[in-house]
Amino acid sequence: MKAQILAILGAAMLAAPALASGPITGRWVTSEKDAVVAIAKCGQALCGRLERFLILPKGGKDQRDVNNADPAKRSRKLIGTAILYGLTEDDGAWRGQVYDPKSGRTYTSQVRRMGDGTLEVKGCFGPLCQTQVWKKAS
């Protein structure tokens, strides 16, 4: 009997981090409050596409991906571009890639739903990381 109770408690404790993180899908306002990113299923993984600008960039709503390292992608519109992609769940976090259209660089990413309902988005290049906190869009 004690063994069963311990097994149930152990399983509950292991499941708690996954439940606490919550789903990351939905619409999110970036930390700079300049855009909304929609995170949804893309094939076998999740991705986050730039849905709309809250503050228009210099190029307006039709801003192109002019800083992209790939010259073939510099003429594409930023709206609709996946800036988070290849996100797969790993131990309560979602890991994949994050694209920064301002620098044209891609970083490894970790995305996690926090207990207060915000989204922690971390981009790393080697050991150097930067973290942003996104809020749920209304």
Per residue in 77-128, pLDDT (tens digit) is 999 999 999 999 998 899 999 999 999 999 999 999 999 999 999 999 999 9
pLDDT at position 22, please? Answer: 75
Please tell me the distance from the alpha carbon of residue 37 to that of residue 28, in angstroms, as a whole number. 5
pTM (2 d.p.): 0.82
SS3 35: strand
Which residue do the tokens 């893309």 mark? 42
| CA neighbor of 135 nearest in space, from 60, 27, 63 | 27
pLDDT in tens, 21-56: 579 999 999 999 999 999 999 999 999 999 999 999
Total tally of structural domains belonging to the chain: 1
Nearest Cα neighbor of 111 from 16, 46, 14, 35 is 46
The CATH number of residue 14's host domain is: 2.40.128.520
Domain containing 122 equals: 2-136
